[in-house]
Amino acid sequence: MHAQLGFCGGNSGDPIFTEDFGSGTTDGPELPAGTTTYNFTTGTPNDGEYTISSTTNYFDWLSLQDHTPGDSNGKAFIVNASFTAGEFYQRQVTGLCENTTYEFSSWLINLQSANSCEGNSIPVNVRFQIWDETDTNMLAQGDTGSIPATGTTEWEQYALVFKTEPGQTSVILKMRNNSNGGCGNDVAIDDILFRSCGDNVTVATAADEASLVVCEDQGGISRTLTATPDSSVFSTHAYQWQQSTDQQTWTDIPEENSAVFDTPAVTATTYFRTKIAEDIINVNNDLCNVVSDVFDITVLPIPAAPTSNGDVTICEGELGTLTVNTQNSYSINWYDAAIGGNLILSDNQNLEIGIAGTYYAEANSTEIECASTTRTAVTLTVNPSPVVPDDSSTFLCEDSSTSLDAEIENVTYQWSTGATTQQIDVAEPGEYDVIITNTNGCSATRKFTVEQIDLPRIDKIVSDGPTIVVSTANGGNFEYSLDGRSFQPSPFFDAVAGGFYTIYVQDNTNCGVVTEDFYHLVIPKFFTPNGDTFNDIFAPDGLEVFNSVTISIFDRYGKLLKFGNTNSTSWDGTFQGERLPEDDYWYLITADSIQLKGNFSLKR
């Protein structure tokens, strides 16, 4: 039985063999003799050919970079499969340890685009084999399975785990095409790697800490670490603890060869791990051992105090933003005291506030509590704004102007009209405002509402019996008068004798008076000729002012009942000596050039 493809299930050792095929812009060099049966080319590889190149820009293949991280013009093994399936690569790997489990891995990518071969591209399918050094005993093999042409530029890693036999220190790696060539089955291979495979080894403290972050001001920190292998590969365990400051260079710690290790007092970031092997003889042979998980003790330096961007001055009613800068993206906390005090705002380089005072910014680590030893003071000064009178409303008489006064001195003014004086004259109704700025540069705004008072506009004046009724075409707080001296709020003048009058109308804000002459003719609405000497005759009042007057009275059928002139303008309700019945009657009065018509009632 041979292992299928799969990665080491535990921890791995450092790489003991790598092949990244180099770098450069020139194709090659050709692989050593015996490595492949394919033909080398420095140009486009055809079926059964290969090249070592930093480009894959051949045919309609994907154009991509090699896999090796950090390479500049890194190369890969570019293979155009032969028409006949079979082996295309073999390489001997030496210097292994006997009875040791290893992981082989390599990165592959199908070079065909998604639309190659009209969508019928032959998939890549590679078999990895590990043989003993005699090339007669296969230790393990596994297939990638079909890798279709999807057009992705992401490399995929494949791995195979195997174990060397007693006395065996080298193996032969072989790669075979499981598919014939043709349109498709074009592959790039990079970063072939061998490394030892062992138990999954965790490192933790008794409190189950897998790492530790501390602040520099905590002094030397130490921990008791325990390495715990899962025994999935090794049956026995030998240890050698190591430490590093960069996880690149590791140094053995003398006499630390057990599963439990007490770290020294750490004052700077240090990393610890243990090498592990089944035999003490192999623990220091990097071809045979594996390494555990790394336990980090990260010592954070105490942050420097933040740098202030300057004190801030604002005006009353505004918000000021206090800001500081800090290195390494530390968190900033704001306090109301240089030491202790109350936390105002956390994790923000900007403090927005409107209360005058000095505030203190402290830098702190974003990982743990590790604060600067001092805090940076930033002061907010709040200057008073001008105290202005309340907004006001005023009135503007029609066709006149009024004065607006800011009513505060020793400041500057900016009116919405563009004026810059304390007072302005306006002749239009509307909204006006003035921005008042004091010597601190602080401003306040006062608003004025100007309403126009329109002069009354008399619409009509009528006589309603002895009452004069005045109507206006516009509304307002109007007052009315018949003599221009005594005004009343009512537009009705009752019991007014007939005659010529001048009607006066004014607004009660004294914006002006309008007048109109009116002839008031008092025509009774009814009369009662019943002999009681009260209202016995129909007699219009006010006709005496006219030079020539005629009056005609008719019944409802148009029959003339009375005709009189200037000397006879009344009627007693009779016709040819006969008393007429109760009814409505009509009159026609001609006074000089004026003609008046209407009706009245006779009641008995």
In contact, 174 and 129? CB cutoff 8 Å:
yes
Is the per-residue pLDDT at 577 higher than 70? yes
The answer, yes or no, to whether residue 219 has pLDDT greater than 90, is no
Residues 362-399 as b or e (16 or more Cβ within 10 Å = b): bbbbeeeebbbeebbebebebeebbebeeeeeeebbee
Q: Is the pLDDT of residue 311 over 50?
A: yes
CATH homologous superfamily of 392-453 equals Immunoglobulins (2.60.40.10)
Query: In which residue ranges of the chain is CATH 2.60.120.260 found?
Result: 12-197
Q: Is the pLDDT assigned to residue 4 strictly greater than 80?
A: no
| Torsion sign, CA atoms 359, 364, 368, 373 | negative
**Cβ atoms within 10 Å of 186's Cβ, excluding its own:** 26
Kindly report, residue by residue over 515-560, the tens digit of the pLDDT: 999 999 999 999 999 888 899 999 999 898 889 999 999 999 999 9
CATH superfamily, domain at 307-383: Immunoglobulins (2.60.40.10)
Q: Which fold has domain 526-602?
A: Immunoglobulin-like (2.60.40)
HSE-CB for 240 with a 13 A CA cutoff: 18
Non-local (6+) Cβ contacts of 369 within 8 A are 215
Q: Which of 244, 234, 235, 232 is closest to 274 using CA atoms?
A: 244
385: its two tokens: 């704004």
Whether 337 shows a pLDDT value over 80: the answer reads: yes
Residue 3 scores a pLDDT above 60: no
pLDDT digits (tens, 9 = 90+) for 158-204: 999 999 998 899 999 999 999 888 899 999 999 999 999 999 999 99
- The residue written with tokens 């239009």 in the block is 428
pLDDT above 80 for 1: no
CB 101 within 8 A of CB 162: yes
pLDDT at 371 over 90: yes
The amino acid present at 363, given as its one-letter code, is A
Q: State mean pLDDT over 284-303.
A: 92
The predicted structure's pLDDT at residue 18: 94
Kindly report whether the peptide bond that precedes residue 29 is cis, defined as omega within 30 degrees of 0: yes
Average pLDDT score over residue span 126-140: 95
- The whole-number pLDDT of residue 373 equals 95
- Strands in 138-143's sheet, in edge-to-edge order, are 86-93, 171-177, 126-132, 138-143
Q: What is the pLDDT of residues 11-64, one digit of tens each?
A: 888 888 999 999 999 999 999 999 999 999 999 999 999 999 999 999 999 999
Residue 110 CA: distances (Å) to CA of 146, 263, 362, 420: 10, 48, 55, 79
Q: Are 570 and 535 in contact (CB under 8 A)?
A: no
- Summarize pLDDT for 220-246 with one digit per residue, the tens: 999 999 999 999 888 899 999 999 999
Which of 85, 101, 174 has the alpha carbon at shortest distance from 135? 174
In 3D, which of 90, 75, 85, 79 has the Cα closest to residue 46? 79
Q: How many residues does the chain have?
A: 604
Query: What are the Cα distances from residue 331, in Å, to 231, 347, 348?
Result: 44, 5, 7
Half-sphere exposure at residue 194, Cβ-oriented, CA atoms within 13 angstroms = 24
Write out the H or E segment, with its range, that includes residue 481.
strand 478-481
Contact yes or no for 108/156 (Cβ under 8 A) = yes
How do beta strands 343-345 and 331-335 pair? antiparallel
Partners of 471 in the β-ladder:
460
Question: 326-356 burial, b if ≥16 CB within 10 A, otherwise e?
Answer: beeebbbbbbeeeeeeeeebeeebebebeee
Please name every residue paired with 565 in a beta bridge, in sequence order, or none if there are none. 550
Report the C-alpha gap between 227 and 210 in whole angstroms: 11
Q: What is the mean pLDDT of residues 265-283?
A: 93
| Interval 52-90: pLDDT, tens | 999 999 999 999 999 999 999 999 999 999 999 999 999
Query: What is the pLDDT, as a whole number, of residue 503?
Result: 97
SS3 sequence of 386-402: CCCCCCEEEEEECCCCE
How many C-beta atoms lie closer than 10 Å to residue 81's C-beta?
Answer: 28
Report the Cα–Cα distance between both ends of the chain, in Å, rounded: 142
User: Phi and psi dihedrals of 368, rounded to 5?
Assistant: -140, 175
Residues of the chain with CATH 2.60.40.10: 201-300, 307-383, 392-453
Percent of the chain exceeding pLDDT 90 equals: 83
- What CATH superfamily classification does 201-300 receive? Immunoglobulins (2.60.40.10)
Give the alpha-carbon dihedral of 42, 45, 46, 49, to 10 degrees: 80
Q: How far apart are CA 342 and CA 301, in angstroms?
A: 25
Which tokens is 395 given? 């009135």
Q: What architecture (CATH level 2) is domain 12-197?
A: Sandwich (2.60)
400-447 pLDDT, tens digit each = 999 999 999 999 999 999 999 999 999 999 999 999 999 999 999 999
pLDDT of residue 2: 42
- Cα distance between residue 575 and residue 579, in whole Å: 7
Residue 279 predicted with pLDDT over 70: yes
Side-chain half-sphere CA neighbours of 97 within 13 A: 24
pLDDT at 566 over 90: no
Residues 443-500 pLDDT 10s: 999 999 999 999 999 999 999 989 999 999 999 899 999 999 999 999 999 999 999 9
Cα–Cα distance measured from residue 12 to residue 294, given in angstroms and rounded to the nearest whole number: 12
Query: How far is residue 468's CA from residue 486's CA, in Å, rounded to a whole number?
Result: 16
Beta-strand ranges (E) seen in 20-68 are 39-40, 49-53
CATH number of 458-520: 2.60.40
- Rounded Cα gap, residues 30 and 305, in angstroms: 60
Closest CA to 589 of 575, 600, 604: 600
- The answer to whether 536 touches 547, Cβ cutoff 8 Å, is no
- Alpha-helical regions (H) of 293-383: none
Q: What percent of the chain has pLDDT over 70?
A: 99
Rg (CA), the chain: 56
